[in-house]
Amino acid sequence: LAALTMIIGNLVAIPQTNIKRLLAYSSIAQAGYLMVGIISESIPGVKGVLFYAMIYVFANMGAFAVATHVSEKQGSDEIQDFAGLARRSPLAAVVMTASLLSLAGIPPLAGFVGKFYLFSAVMGQGYTAIAYIGFVMSMVSVYYYLSVVKVMFLGEGEGLPDIPVHGAVKFTMLFTMIITIAIGIYPTPLAQMAIAAAQSLVQ
């Protein structure tokens, strides 16, 4: 079930042209990664699940904050309408990039650490095949995440409006990005809390 969830979620996300649908199918794949940790039936596995679930919240919140803000300002959720976002709204483009790369598991962002914990735990219990599937599907996700980044930074965006970010939306974007980067660089505090919770749950 974990393998099917990762494979279907990632493969169906590839042809999407709508950013919210892409993120929705990506979320299905993320659920598959979480299930990998459960397979191990161990404290490290549960630790990985708890850690990854927390960092996923911030990365996904950042991505949806940008997608929703752009949609409200432009009246469109289409990826092609994110063209030139790096010029029209630099903060939104940077936050979206950090969020997507974290979801893909690219270091030094938090998603990399989370997937490392998950895949290490399941491999430690001898389930190497599912770990390899998870790794390959993570590489597949890099393709469609980077396709969005490419549009934002290399797309022309002619005729599309500037999209300033203010107030609560700006705070949300900055907060989620800072947490995503900070946990990737220094995961120890959250990892310690996750393993303490895992020990109480498993034992």
Q: Each residue of 125-136: pLDDT tens digit?
A: 999 999 999 999
Q: How far does Cα 66 stand from its chain's mean position?
A: 13
Given a cut of 90, whether residue 27 has pLDDT beyond it is yes
Q: What is the mean pLDDT of the chain?
A: 94
Q: Which residue has the tokens 């399941």?
A: 122
User: What tens digit of pLDDT does each residue of 100-121 get?
Assistant: 999 999 999 999 999 999 999 9
Q: Could you state, in order of their start, the residue ranges of all structural domains in the chain?
A: 2-202
pLDDT of residue 158: 80
- Coil/strand/helix, residue 78: strand
**Is it the case that residue 94 has pLDDT exceeding 90?**
yes
Q: Is the pLDDT of residue 146 over 70?
A: yes
pLDDT at 202: 77
At 170-187, the pLDDT tens digits run 999 999 999 999 999 999
Determine the average pLDDT of the residues in 136-162. Answer: 92
Closest CA to 72 of 191, 171, 165: 165
Average pLDDT over residues 76-99: 94
The pLDDT value given to residue 201: 82
- Looking at the chain, the whole-number percentage of residues with pLDDT higher than 70 is 100
What percentage of residues in the chain have a pLDDT greater than 90?
Answer: 89
**Whether the predicted pLDDT of 62 surpasses 80:** yes
**Residues 198, 50: contact at Cβ < 8 Å?**
yes
pLDDT band (50, 70, 90) for residue 203: low
Q: How many CB atoms lie within 10 A of CB 57?
A: 12
For the whole model, what pTM was predicted?
Answer: 0.92
The single residue listed with the structure tokens 């199918």 is 25
Between residues 138 and 41, the one the model is more confident about = 138
- Where helices occur in the chain by DSSP H, the ranges are 2-13, 19-39, 43-74, 85-88, 90-104, 110-124, 128-154, 167-185, 188-202
